[in-house]
Chain A
Amino acid sequence: MTDPNSSMSPPPKYSIRGLKAWFGSHEVLHGVDIDIPAKGVTAIIGPSGCGKSTFIRCLNRMHELVASARADGRVDLDGEDVYASDVDPVLLRRRVGMVFQKPNPFPTMSIRDNVLAGKHLTHTNKKETADKTVEAALRQAALWDEVKDRLDLSGSGLSGGQQQRLCIARTLAVEPDVLLMDEPCSALDPIATARIEDLIHELKERYTIVIVTHSMQQAARVSDQTAFFLQGDLIEAGPTNTIFTKPKDTRTEDYITGKFG
């Protein structure tokens, strides 16, 4: 997508301007401006209640699914406002996948059907290519070797970390372009967490990843860019290295050095 004649940096995947979000009359985001570069990992950090989850839920319009929730501002994905009236949020969500905090494979479905769930739900599954889709998604999620012999067993029999990778595979099978991850490791042990982090390293070659995390170490390990939120404001965003070594704002420094949080 980079314009070869331009000497400027490539256009961002997401360009967000003046993003505000509410639950009822309570404003939880007070006008956020940030660019999210394509193909890389952007970490969103900040203490509980700072609006970081709400922020990424605005990127695929999941925020508005909660009763009384609304958002305002510009959220451009490849230059198109996702809040424009002619945008179908259902189609947007097929392009912007999301992985949740708790691993939640569908309990009644086999591993294979879990991977294909998005395709089945949206009636876009093609029988001829289903096997390929399953294998490709599970390989990308670094789960194939562990489950290839039990694709027809329930996904609930897997360990927590495997379940979360199954959820990632399920999201990838829809062939998104952006991957939103809302604290994907907070329910996992350190070993399972490390595997997911390795996976994120591999996936960022192909996808734009935005990850919300409670763990600053995780942000430092996996992300290229970090954004620090506090009480509904974006305090500071920039290359992860800079944020963690030379933060401009004292509040950022206080948070990453553990003075509060």
Chain B
Amino acid sequence: MSDKWNIKHAAGQRSYALREKLFVALCLFAVLLPVLMLFTLFGRLLLDGLPRLGWDFITSYPSRKAASAGILPAAVGTLYLILLTALIALPLGVGAAVYLEEYGKRSKLATIIEINISNLAGVPSIIYGLLGLGLFVRALGMGRSLLAGASTLALLVLPVVVVSTREALRTVPMATRETCLALGATRWQTIKQVVLPQALPGVMTGSILAVSRALGETAPLVVVGALSYVPFLPDSVFAQFGALPIQIFNWVSRPQAAFLVNAAAGIVVLLMMMLVLNLAAIIVRDRMQRKLARAH
């Protein structure tokens, strides 16, 4: 029997197995490190904020006294802001993605838009704030309103919505589109009734994640003029507004230690909101995928 057919470990050749284990350990470390950091941060904040965390904190208006100050206007402002942002960014982003992916593939215009969108994704958020200030607050006369803030945030998340929607559209096979068209459907009928519904889980996941990113944005809102002290709830899209990140920023910059406790509690609430949104994204995706899989 020749050596060629030997399948046993040769002496001293086991080292590659060890090297592989080392590599796996390294990868695991890379995964665990950020997770651990997040947990430490969250745990620390929870401990710091615990004294103030409670229903009172969420349902109270801000106050000069740290012990009785709450986040109601800021939390409501953030909630409205996110809803409005989604309302503006989703139709625009999905529409742009459908145009780029389904209609405009051959045109120069599409190429120009594409380059612009990938560039926009890299623009610092403060620049969006300045754009929002110039365009929405001043030029379009929206003032320092919820609408101006949401429009600015919508611009900020738009590239992400476009990119994730395009990716979702690409997962729908060409053959599916051709089948519809061969049945005598128009392009629009094909997109509306078959392509978009099939791409929906991806569109939703990407969009919710994009919007949840806007949740924590502070810089553009500061520039657009969100209030840091809001003793009222916004009653229309043209009302002035506060937002959680701004409120937290405001508390952190106070000298009194008691306000730091408030800030920690506020961060915990903000993180919880973000977690809920991300969780929603995962649930939506899984349910839709299971629905699709059942159909297969």
> Does A associate with B in a complex?
yes
- Residues of B within 8 Å of A171, CB to CB, are 182-183
- Residues of A within 8 Å of B179, CB to CB, are 100, 104, 106, 167
B194 within 8 A of A: yes
The answer to whether A98 and B182 have CB atoms under 8 Å apart is yes
**B186-210 interface code vs A (CB 8 A; 1 in, 0 out):** 1001100110011000000000000
**A89-100 interface code vs B (CB 8 A; 1 in, 0 out):** 011011001101
CA distance in complex: A170, B194 (Å):
15
A117 within 8 A of B: yes
The answer to whether A67 and B106 have CB atoms under 8 Å apart is yes
CA distance in complex: A174, B182 (Å):
10
The answer to whether B175 and A104 have CB atoms under 8 Å apart is yes
B184 within 8 A of A: yes
Q: In the assembled complex, how far is the CB of residue A225 from the closest CB belonging to chain B, in whole angstroms?
A: 23
Question: How many chain-A residues does the 8 Å CB contact rule pick out?
Answer: 30
A108 within 8 A of B: yes
The answer to whether A120 and B295 have CB atoms under 8 Å apart is no
Which residue in B193, B294, B295 is a CB contact (below 8 Å) of A121?
B193
Which residue in A65, A68, A93, A108 is a CB contact (below 8 Å) of B183?
A93
B41 within 8 A of A: no
The answer to whether B185 and A118 have CB atoms under 8 Å apart is yes
In the complex, residue of chain B having the shortest beta-carbon distance to the beta carbon of A117: B183
B254 within 8 A of A: no
Given contacts A107-B292, A154-B295, contact A100 B178 (CB under 8 A): yes
The answer to whether A93 and B296 have CB atoms under 8 Å apart is no
In the complex, residue of chain B having the shortest beta-carbon distance to the beta carbon of A171: B183
- Residues of A within 8 Å of B106, CB to CB, are 67-68
B271 within 8 A of A: no
Q: In the assembled complex, how far is the CB of residue A31 from the closest CB belonging to chain B, in whole angstroms?
A: 25
A60 within 8 A of B: yes
Which residue in B181, B189, B295 is a CB contact (below 8 Å) of A65?
B181
The answer to whether A62 and B181 have CB atoms under 8 Å apart is yes
CA distance in complex: A41, B158 (Å):
53
- Residues of B within 8 Å of A104, CB to CB, are 173, 175-176, 179
Q: In chain A, residues 2-51, which have Cβ atoms closer than 8 Å to a Cβ of chain B?
A: none
CA distance in complex: A197, B190 (Å):
30
The answer to whether A121 and B180 have CB atoms under 8 Å apart is yes
**B281-296 interface code vs A (CB 8 A; 1 in, 0 out):** 0000000000110111
The answer to whether A62 and B105 have CB atoms under 8 Å apart is no
In the complex, residue of chain B having the shortest beta-carbon distance to the beta carbon of A68: B106
Interface centre among B185, B189, B296 (most CB of A within 10 A): B185
- Residues of A within 8 Å of B178, CB to CB, are 62, 65, 100
CA distance in complex: A106, B197 (Å):
12
In the complex, residue of chain A having the shortest beta-carbon distance to the beta carbon of B105: A67
Q: In the assembled complex, how far is the CB of residue B61 from the closest CB belonging to chain A, in whole angstroms?
A: 49
- Residues of A within 8 Å of B185, CB to CB, are 90, 118, 121-122
CA distance in complex: A109, B176 (Å):
13
- Residues of A within 8 Å of B181, CB to CB, are 62, 65, 90, 93
Q: In the assembled complex, how far is the CB of residue A177 from the closest CB belonging to chain B, in whole angstroms?
A: 12
- Residues of B within 8 Å of A154, CB to CB, are 294-296
Contacts A106-B179, A107-B292, A117-B183 supplied; 12 other A-B pairs, CB < 8 Å: A60-B182, A67-B105, A68-B106, A90-B185, A97-B183, A98-B182, A100-B175, A104-B176, A118-B184, A118-B185, A120-B193, A122-B189
